[in-house]
Structures are given as C-alpha cells and as structure tokens.
Amino acid sequence: MFPSKTVVFLAAVSALSASFITFDAAAQQAAAKAPAAPPPPLAPLTIQGDASRGAVLAETCKGCHGVPGSHNAYPSYYVPKRGGQNLEYIEIALQGYRRGTRSHPTMQAQASSLSDQDIADLATFFSAWVGEPQTGKSDASAHDVDEGKKKAAVCQQCHGEAGVAAAKQWPNLAGQHFSYLEQALNQYKSGQRADLLMGQQVAALDEATIAELAAYFSAQPYLHQTAID
C-alpha cells in the first residue's frame, strides 16, 4: 500500500524543517567561532583640556607614572613614560582602556569612570610636562639597536625616523623603556590591544624583530619621566 499524498507532504515538510534546524545550528556555531570584527578606530577628542584640573586628577596616576623605575607586576615591565608624549595619543590610549580594547586590568579600572573631559584634562597635563630628553631603560646590545634601526623603516610613516611621531595621534616611541615597547608590540600581535593598523603591522614579526625594534627606539633620547611630588 502506498502512502497518501498528505503523508508524503508532511514527511517532506518535516525533513525540510530538520534541515533548516541543522543549518541554523551550524551557522550559529560558525558565528561563535569567527573572530570578532575589529572595533572602530578611536580618535582624539575635540574638547579643550585643563592642565590644572588634570594635575588634580593625576594624583591617582602618580603611584605608577610618578615613580621613576616603577614596574608593572606581571608580566614585569617598566611603566611607560608620559613626559613628552603627544596629547592626542594619550587621549586615544585612555579611551582604549575605557572601552576595554587595551588589556590592562588596573588601567581599565582607572579609565572606566573617566569622562571625555577628564581624559582631555589628563592628556593636557601629562603632554605639557617639561623635562630633559632621555633614553629608555634597556639592556639591549649595540648590535640589537643597529638591527632595530634597519627594521624600523616600516614604522617611520607614523612614528618618525627616530621615533618622534609625524602626527600627534601617534605615540612618540623615542626614549620609551625597552620592556614596555616589547610588551606593547606583543600585545598588538596577540590582539590584547585591538588596533586594526598595528595588528596588521606586527602580525608577521618574530620575537627577535620585536626585541630589536624595542632596542632601537628605547635608545633614542626623547621621552622623559613625570616624577610627581
């Protein structure tokens, strides 16, 4: 006895429904495994900063950035210098910590409650800090510095030939501590710092090249400490 047309129709509908469910589940699994789309780039703020108010806000920063030779606990690296850093870059960096696209628990906690005006004030305060150009703390060899100089050509368009940025939204690298530069480059490579441009630039760099670039830029005198009394 052959099945009725109704039975055949219902069986076909059931099979089609099952295929849609299977397809939907597979699509959801693929979406879950797919890397998240990079967030939109951050931009400098367009509001005027107040350095005197920034000095008050910076009281919470001085435990690390106001102590020359201060170390991040783990992984261990020298806390970055802020004196001589570009205002616009500091604004972008603080926005990144506030948004969570820069990975550092303490900085994320500090920045999470900052308003745009707070960020502008802090950036104005730190960028105006006066000091003598310094090299960064480094144990790198002269050979590593020379090799880093050869490989730094790709960095020049944004960060300048000797690590002094051509545009103010990019950071000055000259005189920054070796260990901080190495840590930052590794974070861009791993995605702990979400930045489309830097992620592409460092994706193919090996450990030796990252160390050589850090050695070169840290050996160029420019940034200085912000020892806050």
Q: What is the pLDDT of residues 52-111, one digit of tens each?
A: 999 999 999 999 999 988 999 889 999 999 999 999 999 999 999 999 999 999 999 999
CATH no. for 51-218: 1.10.760.10
For the chain, the structural domain boundaries read 51-218
Q: Is the peptide bond before 75 cis (omega within 30 degrees of 0)?
A: yes
Alpha carbon distance 229, 221 (integer Å): 24
Alpha carbon distance 115, 69 (integer Å): 29
For 120-147, the pLDDT digits (tens) are: 999 999 999 999 999 999 999 999 999 9
Give the tokens for residue 91: 């604004």
Cβ contacts of 66 within 8 Å, gap of 6 or more: 58, 226, 227, 228
Select from 157, 141, 154, 135 the least CA-distant residue to 208. 141
What is this structure's pTM? 0.83
